[in-house]
Amino acid sequence: VEGKEGVRLDVRRQSGTNTVAIIDLVKEKLDQIRKSLPPGVEIKIIADKSIFINASVTALKEHLLYGSLLASLVVLLFIRNLRSVAIASLAIPTSIVATFTLLKVMNFTLNNMTLLGLTLAVGIVIDDAIVVLENIVRFIEEKFELPKTAAIDATKEITLAVVATTISLVIIFVPIAFMTGYAKRYVNEFGWTMAFSVMVSMLVSFTLTPMLSSFLLKRSNSKPGEEQHSSRGVGFFHGLSTQYGRLLAWSLDHRFVVIVFALAIFATAIPLNSRVGRDWIPADDQSELTLYLNMAVGTSLDANVKILKEIVEKIKQVRGVEFVNPYIGAEITGHSHTYIRLVDISKRNFTQEDVAKDIRKIMAQYPNIRSRVNWPSALGEGESYSGINVRLLGPDLEKVGEYARKVYDQLKTIPGFADVDMDLDINSPELQIQIDRQRASELGVRAADVATAVRLMIAGEDEISTYKESDEQYPVTMQLLPEQQKDPQVLARLMIPSTKVGQVRLDNIAAIQRGLSPGRINRYNRQFQVPVRANLDSDVALDAAAERVRGVIRKVGLPPGYTSRFSGTVKTLDDTNKSLIITFLLACIFMYMVLAAQFESLLHPFAIMMSLPLSIPFALLTLWLTGRTLNLWSSLGVLLLLGIVKKNGILQIDYANKLRDRGMSLREAVLEACQVRLRPILMTTFSIIGGLIPTAIGAGAGAAQRSAIAVTIIGGQSLCLLLTLVVTPVTYSLLSELSELKLASAIRASRQRLGTSRFFSLFLH
């Protein structure tokens, strides 16, 4: 440590405990221990995971605050009334604070996942309050009702739409219970937090929002017929509403064109899907790197230390490097790893990947050393969590190693692959003992006794006695000196116990010779395995890299009995994709069931859910344009997007049904409903976007993961807005006419079968 020898102690938390709390307790204990240390001995904290976690939590709190402010400003933009802003904005702290109760009951901590859920919920929890508030304002301005009366009547009118919107959004989190593995571990707390906050927001919109509206809002001084004095009748929104009405009227007259255009948009999801790469979780810049080194076979410990010191001094000169701590373990000679801490991301204009590339240039000067530069991943740390980790399996170790070498050689030539390595050292020097079994049997020596005696003198791990001093008892072990362990003549004089002659020299029953063999033999499922690993550049998608590896393996041509299997990140990605497909299907089924129950119709939910497939191409387009991958977080963003975009259709169709019940024709009801509901649709859309903007553009700790989900929702929600505002009413009108035609056909068939007089008698009794 900083040029001095030291002893390193790794402290790891138990599963289910809080990382930051454990680290704080450890620091307190270290402060107490420091007071009792003798002069010249000090304790230095090398790595501290709480630094990144605390920085990430702080950034999330800032995003939560800024998102709340932007979401609230949307109300002012459309209604231009500070009292309305106050009424709607209160839904945010009320819902967020109430969610803390759930966190307490569920024993959740205020961590990255729960805070991310609260941050994303900011723009959503205000939606219900906005819809109710906007309807109350409309009743006051256009129907000239008293605020108290308007609060009651407007809330009653919008109740079904708000309940349907909220429940159908919350229901998408139910399939998370069916997820497995790492994905569920990440999403579980996030889903609970968002679902509860959204449910609370519905309760707030039916209680707090109407109550405050009845007290704070004022009745318009305009007279009936003076709609130009309403907030909907002036300003930019009046022109926008007029243009939308014309577009909708044209769309209803050209429904076939609209449907074909919508299908064409949905079809673009196919090429976009092939262009957007897949990944597990985007890597965050945690200002930490680990350099793994495997020295040339046979390199002594002293030589390892000398080379490592030389490499460390060069790494210290790399830009952005703040601290370097090399470590050589005693358990495996020739292997070492070096912890590298970088300056905070806020103090540099380059990434940890750039630093890793600089370190790789240094390691290129040492061709006999196998090296890897890793950074913390979502799955864990270590060589096993590289971007690519594929096992080659088979019954013959030599052949498995041969095929692994071919794969290794070809992967090194592929651009974007770095630190390509294979875990097989076949040239490790060793002393081989060949026992003459017949001679050993004649002298009464068992092979197991030979193995025990050799292990005792070489490994030195067996306790042969104990030594007691005062009240302390120490184990006694025995081991040959390092230089003796390598000498066959010394080993030949080793005495082996015999059942016939007492003791026998090892060279009387065995031949001892020098040889080469694998330093370590790996097995998997009772087969020999040779892992081949590689890191990936940030611009290489994980699924594309895995497919390149599969292509290389196919080109190598494994014979029958030999297979390959991915592990680590690629396997986790495959498992996550399977879970997400099931989650998406179940979410759509559950949403349809909820909407069918709410609207008491099997056709209306189809019209509402037409917006779902239209949002997917725009979400993929957003990912492609921003250079992002479809990972766990962006997939979760798509899932949330499916729950959010149908809100527009619910508001439109719910009001259209009410107008038709009042005797209005289908076309007039659709035109009126869509224009009346345009303002709350735009307000809720922009409030969601405003609430997510700080998360989407935010920098700092954890930004890579958070921004993925925010950008997906913002892009999909904003780009598909106009299309869904047209497609949903067009689909609704088509399905309604189809339903009426079927009903009319059924009536005519009944009249023909029963006769006119008998048919009408069915309705008179």
Choice between 90 and 178, residue whose per-residue pLDDT is larger: 90
Q: In the predicted model, what is the mean pLDDT of residues 633-652?
A: 84
- What are the chain's domains? 51-280+573-746 (1.20.1640.10), 288-417+536-569 (3.30.70.1320), 428-517 (3.30.2090.10)
3-state secondary structure of 414: coil
Q: Answer whether 604's CB lies under 8 Å from 595's CB.
A: yes
Residue 734 CA from chain centroid, whole number: 40
Q: Answer whether 30's CB lies under 8 Å from 656's CB.
A: no
Most confident of 142-146, 424-428, 716-720: 716-720
Q: Length of the chain in residues, anyone?
A: 765
> CA dihedral defined by 686, 691, 692, 694, rounded to 10 degrees?
120
pLDDT per residue as tens digits for the range 68-109: 888 888 878 877 778 888 888 888 888 888 888 888 888 887
Mean model confidence pLDDT for the chain: 80
Read off the pLDDT band of 762 (50, 70, 90). very low
pLDDT per residue as tens digits for the range 307-336: 888 888 888 888 888 888 887 764 455 677
Nearby residues of 28 by Cβ (< 8 Å), 6 or more positions away: none
Choice between 765 and 718, residue whose per-residue pLDDT is larger: 718
Residue 222 DSSP label: P
**CA triple 322-324-327, angle to 5 deg:** 165
pLDDT of residue 764: 45
Q: In the predicted model, what is the mean pLDDT of residues 475-484?
A: 80
Q: Say if residue 703's pLDDT is above 60.
A: yes
**Residue type present at position 59:** A
3-state secondary structure of 541: coil
Q: In the predicted model, what is the mean pLDDT of residues 159-185?
A: 79
For the stretch 748-755, contacts whose Cβ atoms lie closer than 8 Å and that sit 24 or more positions apart, written own/partner, are none
Q: Say if residue 548's pLDDT is above 50.
A: yes
pLDDT of residue 763: 46
Q: Say if residue 235's pLDDT is above 70.
A: no
Q: In the predicted model, what is the mean pLDDT of residues 109-128?
A: 79
pLDDT of residue 196: 87
Residue 41 DSSP label: -
3-state secondary structure string, 643-664? HHHHHHHHHHHHHHHHHHHCCC
CA distance 78 to 67: 18
Q: In the predicted model, what is the mean pLDDT of residues 689-708?
A: 77
pLDDT of residue 740: 67
Among 149-158, 192-201, 240-249, 374-383, the range scoring the smallest mean pLDDT is 374-383
The continuous run of DSSP H or E covering 559 comes out as none
pLDDT of residue 747: 53
CA distance 400 to 384: 19
pLDDT per residue as tens digits for the range 380-392: 555 556 778 888 8
Read off the pLDDT band of 700 (50, 70, 90). low
pLDDT of residue 333: 56
Q: Say if residue 243's pLDDT is above 80.
A: yes
Please state whether 300 falls in left (phi above 0), alpha (psi between -120 and 50) or beta: beta
For residue 528 the two structure tokens come to 């020999």
Q: Say if residue 733's pLDDT is above 80.
A: yes
3-state secondary structure string, 422-485? ECCCCCEEEEEEEECHHHHHHCCCCHHHHHHHHHHHHCCCCEEEEEEECCEEEEEECCCCHHHH
Q: Say if residue 570's pLDDT is above 50.
A: yes
Q: In the predicted model, what is the mean pLDDT of residues 227-255?
A: 72
Among 57-66, 344-353, 375-384, 589-598, the range scoring the smallest mean pLDDT is 375-384
Q: In the predicted model, what is the mean pLDDT of residues 404-426?
A: 84
pLDDT of residue 743: 54
Q: Say if residue 752's pLDDT is above 70.
A: no
Q: Is 654 exposed, middle or buried (0-12, 13-18, 19+ CB in 10 A)?
A: buried
Q: Answer whether 691's CB lies under 8 Å from 88's CB.
A: no
Q: Say if residue 765's pLDDT is above 50.
A: no
The continuous run of DSSP H or E covering 48 comes out as none
Helix axes of 678-697 and 721-754: crossing angle, nearest 10 degrees:
140
Residue 540 DSSP label: S
pLDDT of residue 517: 67
Q: Is 499 exposed, middle or buried (0-12, 13-18, 19+ CB in 10 A)?
A: exposed
Q: In the predicted model, what is the mean pLDDT of residues 552-565?
A: 87
CA distance 82 to 231: 13
Residue of 343, 298, 307 whose CA lies nearest to 326: 307
Percent of the chain with pLDDT over 70: 88
Task: For residue 263, report the phi and psi dihedrals to the nearest 5 degrees.
Answer: -65, -35
Please state whether 627 falls in left (phi above 0), alpha (psi between -120 and 50) or beta: left
Q: Say if residue 558's pLDDT is above 70.
A: yes
Read off the pLDDT band of 177 (50, 70, 90). low
Task: For residue 753, report the phi and psi dihedrals to the nearest 5 degrees.
Answer: -80, -40
Read off the pLDDT band of 150 (50, 70, 90). confident
**Residue type present at position 615:** S
pLDDT of residue 225: 46
